[in-house]
Amino acid sequence: MRIARVFPTKTSMSPDDHDVYFGEPGLFMPEYDEVHISVAFTWDLERAKWLKRQWEFIAPVKIGGPAIDGEGDGFVPGKYLKKGITFTSRGCPNRCPWCFINKPLKELDPVLEGNIIQDNNILACSRKHLDKVFQMLSRQHAIRFPGGLEARRIRYDIVERFRSLRINELWLSYDNDEAIYDLMKAAYLLKKYFKRWKLRCYVLIGFKNDTIKKAEKRLVKTWEFGFLPFAMLYRNKKGDYPKPEREWRHFQRTWTRPAAIATKIKELLN
Ligand code: SF4
């Protein structure tokens, strides 16, 4: 069965083979048996419905994806995400107020191969599951954890396991002021073995009463701990950015580019 996979938004995780599309169908299309529209973000739901109408004359259309049903059990590596990306679990036991992942943790079996681990909170998984994941990772190169690692779950034994792998990037997160102590402890354990370019940290900015000044302080702190920060600008379920949007988006751009970050840090710390 030939399936056209359609995505409302192109991201760094989108697959890029011949059956992948990011908008309406073109004039000369191959024959398809089904069209699957995969929606990753809640704010793309309206566009997904519009795309459904555009694709209906090609083949029967199904809409799914993380914003609708989590893609949990039917996940096939490389199908809706770029090759190399894998999920070994879905959901998270925490309920952070800014996060849209509102599903209990579920460990997926079998553990599917991949060097880019996109789990929502992999370190919350059981020891038995982690054993299987680390075993799978021992066969991989250029390993990345862009799904994010919860700082308070980074312990000595976890660091030892990371050290045994070919790690490219470890991503942690710094979402609010209270998270600072866990991040500090994680930094202490990790930076003995991993350089700043391998230690990345998402810093949530623009949530609730945040200000650019407060956000900048968190980003600088993250750098001082030994991480290369990456600003994540909060968007609500409708996809709205915090106000004033122009300032926040400009600020975020600076804090996502390594060269701009290094220049900014020099300016702020000298
Ligand atoms: S720990 Fe991460 S994945 Fe879990 S609820 Fe909080 S932000 Fe979401």
Q: Tell me the best of 105, 106, 118, 121 to mutate to test the pocket of ligand 1, counting ligand atoms within 8 Å of each CB and taking the most.
A: 121
- The finding on whether 120 has its CB within 6 A of some atom of ligand 1 is yes
CA of 150 to the centre of ligand 1 (A): 8
Is 156 inside any structural domain?
A: no
Angstrom distance (rounded) from CA 204 to CA 246: 17
| Nearest ligand 1 atom, CA 100 | 8
| Nearest ligand 1 atom, CA 150 | 1
The protein residue whose alpha carbon is closest to atom 1 in ligand 1 is 94
Is 267 inside any structural domain?
A: no
What's the pLDDT score for residue 73? 52
Is 266 inside any structural domain?
A: no
**Domain range for 20:** 1-72
66, with CB counted inside 10 A (0-12, 13-18, 19+), is buried
> Which amino acid does the sequence have at 164?
S
Is 135 inside any structural domain?
A: no
Is 17 inside any structural domain?
A: yes
Is 6 inside any structural domain?
A: yes
Q: Tell me the best of 98, 120, 123, 232 to mutate to test the pocket of ligand 1, counting ligand atoms within 8 Å of each CB and taking the most.
A: 120
Is 184 inside any structural domain?
A: no
CA of 244 to the centre of ligand 1 (A): 26
Q: Tell me the best of 99, 100, 125 to mutate to test the pocket of ligand 1, counting ligand atoms within 8 Å of each CB and taking the most.
A: 99
161, with CB counted inside 10 A (0-12, 13-18, 19+), is middle
What's the pLDDT score for residue 33? 94
Is residue 200 within a helix (H) or strand (E), and if so which, with residue range?
A: strand 199-205
What's the pLDDT score for residue 28? 86
Residue-by-residue pLDDT tens, the chain, 270 positions: 999 999 999 988 889 899 999 999 988 899 999 999 999 888 899 999 999 999 999 999 999 888 876 545 555 656 788 889 999 998 999 999 999 888 899 999 999 999 999 999 999 999 999 999 999 999 999 999 999 999 999 999 999 999 999 999 999 999 888 899 999 999 999 999 999 999 999 999 999 999 999 999 999 999 999 999 999 999 998 889 999 999 999 999 999 999 999 999 999 988
Token pair 């996940």 is found at 75
Is 85 inside any structural domain?
A: no
| Cis? peptide before 229, omega within 30° of 0 | no
How many domains is the chain partitioned into structurally? 1
What's the pLDDT score for residue 78? 64
